[in-house]
Amino acid sequence: MGIFDFIKTVPVILPNGKRLVKAKRVKNLDEKDYGMPLAEALKLQNFFKEDSDTIYGGDNVLYMTPTELKQCALSYYQTKKPTLDHIVNCINGTKNIHTFFESIDRLVEMSDILTQFEKLHIYSPGYSPSEQLHANLNNMPSIEDRFIKRHYALFIEKLETLKTESAKKKRLEKYFAEWSLFYNRLCPESVEFIEWLKRGWRLDK
């Protein structure tokens, strides 16, 4: 009998209809040990070990201990932390409209993944992904405002290089038309600020 022999007595039915099975090495561990429902522990295990299905007999087999799950989560977080920091730096520093919104999407996506590990208590108090994401979303009007001003300042620099008024007007119309494509991504204050900038140019005359 090996350490990965199965104990088929766990009455947990997974979303895919399979019955959760515990390996012998974790047979005495329960939800209190994992700090979460066994189905959630299994989901995390399968996230870290995508080859579980072929190596350990199926994606419904829980074989990792709480300590092993925590180690995997911490290693994953340490690997992704530089990428997360880069995304935040992009949001706070880019002047490119597409990079800005793509970075916000990546931040939300990565935060959603890292939030799954919070029950493993690998984060310092006040620095969990869900807390950081919540803080960023609450601060989004300010983040958008700073970006719009950076983006607009760069636009004005380029606008001033154009020689004719007609060329400037066409470039202005194109600039605000591009912004309108992203209005559904912006908070109302940001949309109003862009519309205020647009009115200042009196493009309708």
Neighbour-count burial for 66-83, b at 16+ CB within 10 Å, e otherwise: beebbebbeebbeeeeee
Does residue 204 have a pLDDT over 80? Answer: no
Domain definitions of the chain by residue range: 6-64, 67-138, 142-201
DSSP assigned state of 26? G
Nearest to 39 by CA among 67, 9, 59, 56: 59
Helix H or strand E segment including 62: strand 61-62
Q: What integer is the mean pLDDT of 92-98? A: 97
pLDDT, mean over the chain: 90
15-74 pLDDT, tens digit each: 888 899 998 889 999 999 999 999 999 999 999 886 545 556 678 889 999 999 999 999
The three-class DSSP label of residue 130 is helix
State the pTM of this model. 0.85
Could you give the CA distance from residue 99 to residue 162 in angstroms, rounded to a whole number? 25
Torsion angle of C-alpha atoms 37, 39, 44, 46, degrees rounded to 10: 160
Strand-by-strand arrangement of the 61-62 sheet: 6-7, 21-23, 61-62
Could you give the CA distance from residue 103 to residue 113 in angstroms, rounded to a whole number? 15
